[in-house]
A and B are shown apart, each in its own frame.
Chain A
């Protein structure tokens, strides 16, 4: 396995293109008791960045991630992906957006039980425009020896790495990860984070990881703190720590 070295953060005034920008993003869930999950979020995410969104349960981080990934739409405010407006996009356009540009990784791996590791990746490569080969995607997460295993034959960490391989196989412009280590022990979690970091570094994929585990923030270029539906703080790490140096 290649050694992941710490490497310098992006420059303070980044020249990299802004992929996603949000302005005044709010989300209210209607119901018997309306819940305001986001209250005016402003945000720019640039190509190649590794961003961690840190917040407690209920802080609105998942909602933000879902809106950025085109799984939900905001109640008010604007989200743009490059020059596309996602705020008013319909289901068809959002599907297209997810299909062409977004890779997702979830806490529960959501693999398809009836397909092998390789086939789970093929699910994406079949519909992507310029995909990696499934084998390459699995090699990138260190699973090239488990290609023909079904999910039930893989450990939790292996399943999550298949999920990452599936997410990156289309060579997405952004990789959105919702508590990717939440269901894993720390040792396995670190393996998963290493895979994410490698993807970010090698493929220059904008990677956003949301977590309530503050330790993980150390591997990011930039860390956003969410609380009560607002971004309440932001800092840049002077150096990114290697995942294997983390402990929790």
Chain B
């Protein structure tokens, strides 16, 4: 080992506390980098593989009924490679031992020869008869169903007992969520597959189909294909074809992958920036202390580059240790994260991949940060002419700061003046310290966003907007009279019927697929809300749009939109927009039901209902509903809230804990390093104060005054940065599926401040040991 290597090892040991703090910040940065990149890759790699293996379709269309002869015509559309038709329907499941009715989507099996959306069979075999079904895996797990188990199934009002023959997964339902829900509920929503013939029979589709899947040729003009398909299927009640990007499961999955792309840059960026700053501060200090040593080395003939290399190695070792540790932790947490993901994204397999290039780039990026941080200090030292280096450095120049008007000055104690002048002598360093601590507070604020906003989301959606205990949907349009039937059911004290219709809305060149719901004029069980959360009455005429839809269409109250009804005769109407609403989940248009019926040239018909129910009567009501034909969908508000809260509680806790660890690492790193550097710069002054008769506490106040001042400035700044990051995230994540409200509870701000203060306190306690050990005699005996 060369003598410089010896020095390197000993320097590292001497600086171990600070080196550790910096290494941990680097480790946090690399950990977030590795988690984000590896999760993003794992998700998209598995997605690609699963889509390929299961021949996931590129375009989708649903219709009322069309003859299979149409398949040939679809295949002739330019750009279409494979056409697959199928039967699809809604079903209600009655499981023994589970009171509530369970809704399900039922599909015919894909064509065994070259079909699309092929199933991955986890267990058992594919169903063959009209008494056999395969069920999706998440649903099977939720009810512990195995091949051979039986349950009652209601299809088109006919109940039959079916046997589960297989447990399956499909690329179409990687993320399985009932439209309109905010969270998967595997217990109450499932997907079933039945052989084609029996399902056609059950759905009254003999020789016909009501669902289309297309595989497109590479390079196909997707919008053109969709248009051609829509023209072809329009007479058959198609609600409009969509390409893969609008497919529900695919959209959730893509959103999730996109979120990780954002995470992969923002968090590691913050951490590595802080690490670079800390290295800069520590190296500056070290090189100041070793100024004469550097000069002596140079006088003995060491070259500037040898010396620069020596100090860069010091920074390099710290960063290398931190980043290798970070790769390890990141890989470990990433693998754990992928297990959590399997709960939500139901792939048959999830390949967690920590690629070498991700690990290497994590290390390289942090090495770059280290270089940036250390380079300035090292270059300055390496350039210093030896003769100048061996002379003591010129004493620091201070001045009376602009803040100290004679009045303020009188009020400031000498200790306070020391603090103010020291801070203002190095304003950049002070600002960066403030920024570092502020980011730590900001991360804590971001960590609180999920909990705060989800509380509000739940409250807005399930207490302010949705007030129906049960929401029912019917398999087809029904006469309004159905309300009397519903009102007569056990425990039902209020019925509000609704009419929903799929539409395409247009304004100028913009167009959006959506749905219009018709509500009763005095609707109380579902209330539309304005931006302040106040109820918006249903207008007698005209259309209300959710804000996000209005924004996408570029319309506001007073404009008129073109409404293409995507069922029946595909009528086109022009309807004035009379206002916007601000629910947080879903998007669409709302009208008075009678007005909607008139618009559609139809009688007094409905497609669903909101029920207000006596809770004690629920079991009896469920029994009745299970026996009622034509009810195909059911959502129970209380259950939705409960399952949502239960699932989210754990995740929020984990998220908040991770954020706490990350934020604390930064806070400790910045605060502790600042204190150490301040202490080493001021050891002599602190010793002077002790000699003059200042107690340890009084001396400590002078030492800690700087960092405490910076911390107090940093906390509100951190709140502001946190709020800004949250609003960016919220904007980034807003979609027509759901909008996370930008809500931060006062407790979240308080918590962020508290963590920072506690960190400062703990670091201070570490420093008081140093004050205690301060050797008064030797500190004062060396020349200044």
- A interface residues (Cβ-Cβ under 8 A, vs B): 62, 66, 69, 71-72, 91-92, 95-96, 98-100, 102, 104, 106-116, 119-120, 122-124, 126-127, 148, 150-152, 166, 170, 183
Contact = CB atoms under 8 A, between A and B. Distances in A.
Nearest to A92: B695
A114 B425 CA distance: 9
State the 5 A-B residue pairs at the shortest beta-carbon distance, nearest first.
Answer: A99-B693, A114-B421, A98-B693, A152-B395, A110-B688
A112 B685 contact: yes
B695 A95 contact: yes
Interface residues of B, number: 34
Interface in B447-473: none
A170 B692 CA distance: 10
A99 B396 contact: no
Nearest to B418: A114
Contacts of A100: 693
Contact of B694 (A120, A127, A166): A127
B408 to A, nearest CB: 14
Interface stretch (B7-15, B32-40, B657-665, B776-784): B776-784
Given A112-B688, A114-B418, A122-B414, 19 more contacts: A66-B777, A71-B777, A108-B782, A110-B685, A112-B418, A114-B417, A115-B417, A115-B421, A119-B414, A119-B417, A120-B414, A123-B414, A124-B692, A124-B693, A127-B694, A150-B397, A152-B397, A170-B693, A183-B783
B399 to A, nearest CB: 7
B780 A114 contact: no
A20 B472 CA distance: 97
Nearest to A122: B414
Contacts, number: 92
Given A98-B692, A99-B693, A115-B418, A108 B780 contact: yes
B398 interface: yes
A115 B421 CA distance: 8
Contacts of A107: 781
A151 B395 contact: yes
B269 to A, nearest CB: 35
A99 B691 CA distance: 8
A116 B777 contact: no
A115 B414 contact: yes
Contacts of B398: 113-115, 150, 152
A110 B693 contact: no
A137 to B, nearest CB: 13
Interface of B: 394-400, 413-414, 417-418, 421-422, 425, 684-685, 687-696, 698, 776-777, 780-784
7 contacts: A71-B776, A95-B690, A113-B685, A115-B414, A115-B418, A115-B421, A127-B692
Contact of B780 (A110, A122, A148): A110
B315 to A, nearest CB: 28
A116 B395 contact: no
A150 B425 CA distance: 14
A197 to B, nearest CB: 22
B784 A108 contact: yes
Contact of A113 (B396, B413, B696, B776): B396
Contacts of A123: 414, 689, 692
Contacts of B417: 114-115, 119
Contacts of A115: 398, 414, 417-418, 421
A193 to B, nearest CB: 20
A113 to B, nearest CB: 5
Contacts of A95: 690, 693-696
A167 B239 CA distance: 93
B418 A166 contact: no
B414 A99 contact: no
Contacts of A71: 691, 776-777
Nearest to A148: B400
A122 B422 CA distance: 18
A51 B776 CA distance: 24
Given A95-B693, A123-B414, A106 B781 contact: yes
B655 to A, nearest CB: 44
B701 to A, nearest CB: 12
Contacts of B777: 62, 66, 71-72
B684 A110 contact: yes
Contacts of B782: 108
B693 A127 contact: yes
A102 B414 CA distance: 20
Nearest to A106: B780
Given A113-B398, A114-B421, A126 B692 contact: no
Q: Most chain-B CB neighbours within 10 Å: which of A62, A100, A109, A115? A: A115
B696 A104 contact: no
Nearest to A170: B693
A116 B418 CA distance: 10
Q: Most chain-A CB neighbours within 10 Å: which of B394, B421, B425, B688? A: B688
A156 B690 CA distance: 23
A127 B397 CA distance: 26
Contacts of B783: 108, 183
A99 B395 contact: no
B399 A150 contact: yes
B694 A99 contact: yes
A171 B265 CA distance: 63
Contacts of B688: 110-112
A120 B685 CA distance: 11
A177 B783 CA distance: 16
A100 B695 CA distance: 12
Contacts of A170: 693
A126 B687 CA distance: 17
Nearest to A110: B688
A110 B691 CA distance: 10
A108 B781 CA distance: 7
Contacts of B694: 95, 99, 127
A104 B779 CA distance: 14
Contacts of B425: 114
A120 B394 CA distance: 20
A100 B694 CA distance: 10
B213 to A, nearest CB: 76
Given A115-B414, A122-B414, A150-B399, A104 B691 contact: yes
Nearest to A91: B696
A201 B249 CA distance: 94
A152 B692 contact: no
A51 B782 CA distance: 25
Contact of A126 (B413, B418, B696, B781): B413
Contacts of A91: 696
Nearest to B783: A108
Nearest to A65: B777
Nearest to A172: B693
B445 to A, nearest CB: 34
Contacts of B414: 112, 115, 119-120, 122-123, 126
